[in-house]
Chain A
Amino acid sequence: MLRIAAGDEPAFRVLARRYMPLAVRLARRVTGNNADAEEVAQEALLRVWINAPRWRPLASFRTWFYRIVVNLCLNRRRRAPFLPIEAAADAADPGADAVERIERREEQRALAQAIAALPMRQRAVIALTYHEGLSNAESAAALGTSVSAVETLLVRAKRALREKLGTMLDVGADKP
């Protein structure tokens, strides 16, 4: 970061290549669409470049970067989340039989719809804790809030997901 702060463009491009997939992945989960995710990732990396001389190494770079990405996503509320249902990724095991594959695809579709219906801050906290593997404390640092606020968001998000997914969870609970 010192090199980037000193205006070293090649160093910035190395960092951009390393952190860009993380930015796109997180922004896609929070905004719910690819176009916004690309714009957020690009803007987040440009902000790193522009503000590098002002960066203070008091927190980890990753936490700071998560915060930039999430804040940019939250500032894009005006666009509705868009998740093409037909394009929902098929997370099915290739060895599974056709019925099981269809069941899993249905589960993924229902979950995608339920997550898309969540408020953006709840989506952000789900993405940080479940998909980025952050603890509640790390998520709180990335969101610039307290641990109890993160836990409240998680409680609300999961309550909403449980209501939307209904009996699907009872079926899943039987699986090992």
Chain B
Amino acid sequence: MTMTLGRLQQLLDAKGADLSRWPAAERRAAEQAIARDPAAAAALMRARSLDRLIAAHVPPADASDARVMQALARPLPPQRQRPRWTRWPVELLDFDFAPAWPRLAALACVGVLGFLVGFTDLVVPIGSGALPADAAAAAGDADIGGVLFGPDPLPEARP
């Protein structure tokens, strides 16, 4: 698709004269237009010149930083507090600033609990709380393949 001079100028203004920062499709179309049309090449040169000029612009400054810090040295006003029950999402989401030890401690507790449950064979079947001894033995001897894939429907049909 060919890019008109107007569209090129609009993109140069919106995205800057550094074509490497443009989306690939628009960059390719712009490069073709610039190679083909001297007016497009001139528009790119002018856009670069404007970008350079703006970037180099330094407004006049005086020692205002010190005055601001001096003003902030006065006693600070009271903060606006959030209701207590709305604070926990902020504290949970604040991964960058919250100390890591509470989360690490929680993870360690879960790990220890899991180990204890597995090691002491505390798992109890859901339901009555205990199986009859023969049912438990049968379950222990069951073929895991049969449990997973169901019994073979026609074993005698095999060669």
Contact = CB atoms under 8 A, between A and B. Distances in A.
B48 A20 contact: no
Contact of B72 (A42, A87, A168): A42
A58 interface: yes
A1 B53 CA distance: 37
Q: Which size bracket describes the interface of B in this complex? A: 35 or more
B14 A169 contact: no
B60 A87 contact: yes
B97 A57 contact: yes
B58 A34 contact: no
Contacts of A53: 79-82, 87
A158 B93 contact: no
B7 to A, nearest CB: 11
B98 to A, nearest CB: 6
B49 A28 contact: no
Contacts of B76: 9, 12, 46, 49
A158 B57 contact: no
Interface stretch (B63-71, B111-119, B138-146): B63-71
Contact of A173 (B45, B58, B71, B89): B45
A142 interface: no
Interface string B1-15: 000000000100111
Contacts of A20: 65, 68-69, 72
B133 interface: no
Majority secondary structure, A binding face: helix
A70 interface: no
B152 interface: no
B35 interface: no
Nearest to B77: A50
A57 B96 contact: yes
B57 A108 contact: yes
B11 to A, nearest CB: 9
B53 A42 contact: no
Given A53-B79, A53-B80, A83 B13 contact: no
B68 A7 contact: no
Contacts of B56: 91, 108
Nearest to B63: A34
A162 interface: yes
A121 to B, nearest CB: 15
Interface in A104-148: 107-108, 111-112, 115, 126, 129-131, 136
Residue with the highest number of chain A CB atoms closer than 10 Å, among B10, B55, B57: B57
A175 interface: yes
A155 interface: yes
